[in-house]
Amino acid sequence: MKAAIFREVGKPLTIEDVEIGEMRANEVRIRVAASGLCHSDYHIIAGDIPCPVPVLLGHEASGIVEAVGENVQHFRPGDRVVSCLSGYCGECGECQTGHSNRCDNKPIRPAIAGEARITAKGEPIYQLGELGGFAEEMLVDARSLVKLPDAMPLDLAALLGCAVLTGVGAATNRVNIRAGESVAVIGCGGVGLNAIQGAKLAGAGRIIAIDLNPAKLELARQFGATEVIHGSAEAAEEVLELTGGGVDFAFEVVGLPATIRQAVTMLRKGGTAVLVGVTKFGTDLAMPAGPFIQKEINVVGSLLGSVPFQIAIPRLADLYLQGALKLEPLVSQKIALEDINRGYDQLAAGEIARSIITFDT
């Protein structure tokens, strides 16, 4: 089968013929229908986050089950599914207390001879998050999948596995936004736009979108932003002036120290900053400590929607089918696997919200 393989920082992904391993008892083989280009994968391509190579990236994927292992009980051939990085063991303390997104013992299959599920001419290929959605087929642990309603379009469903889950979940699960409260979202890419619509679903009365790209700010209005601010060094001061003292919640969806500091600065007294954006490996953050005490502000992180994906994704699909969740405007373009490098160049330039690779199924 064809797959896009990442081999070296600074070099484009290569489209290669790879072999898929023999299915094991807990695995599911999927014919991939669509796979989103997520900024988390780009961090690896850019060298911001270390990762074994060669690696098959892609974690935001949907498809149709082709076969299941003998121990798999909840899936069968023909099922429509979506993958998530949040595979889980189901047995650790985090899983047992409803936090499988923070699982201590996620399924891991090292890319070594005899263990790798994907190979290229005998060479072991690592699968990011045990997935590897930038390929025509996936062979994954059943605990990394969730079933979709039959009416859910597979191209849009791919986005539920990361961008929508992460953004909407940060606003609806990690914090308790009460009706009428104010929200700011820094970064209006795929995840940020979903934080905006998550805040709207939660009942926020005022939602301020902040981004450098005017087109993304206009898109933010479609998702529920009531006001927009062009991203600059003065963005926090603009929010403070606009709101007369700051917002109740600020979602940082960029992953830079400067924007994290802005998120904290634009809070009202007692406000909460929610850090969602993935930071470069080893990033340190320095900022004045006084406001944390004097303003009694809070800073929290949110990982993959702060909720078990196997519960959240079906709910998100239902919200879409009921007309309460926007997905179509997230898709900037649909591309072929061979166009993946162009898609990531556009993502890095901040030109688009989401590109989706589509496959014949």
Catalytic residues: 38, 40, 43, 59, 162
Instruction: Report yes or no: 310 and 95 within 8 Å, Cβ to Cβ.
Output: no
d(CA 311, CA 248): 28
Q: How many CA atoms lie within 13 Å of 158's alpha carbon, on the beta-carbon side?
A: 30
Strand order from edge to edge, sheet including 2-6:
14-17, 2-6, 55-56, 123-127, 118-120, 19-20
Q: How many CA atoms lie within 13 Å of 104's alpha carbon, on the beta-carbon side?
A: 8
Which runs of E-coded beta strand occur in 142-200? 145-147, 182-186
Instruction: Tell me the pairing of strands 145-147 and 137-141.
Output: unpaired
Give the helix/strand (H/E) hosting 141: strand 137-141
Show Cβ contacts of residue 18 under 8 Å, excluding neighbours closer than 6 positions.
Answer: 1, 2, 3, 5, 56, 118, 119, 120, 125, 135
Q: Which two tokens stand for residue 343?
A: 């898609």
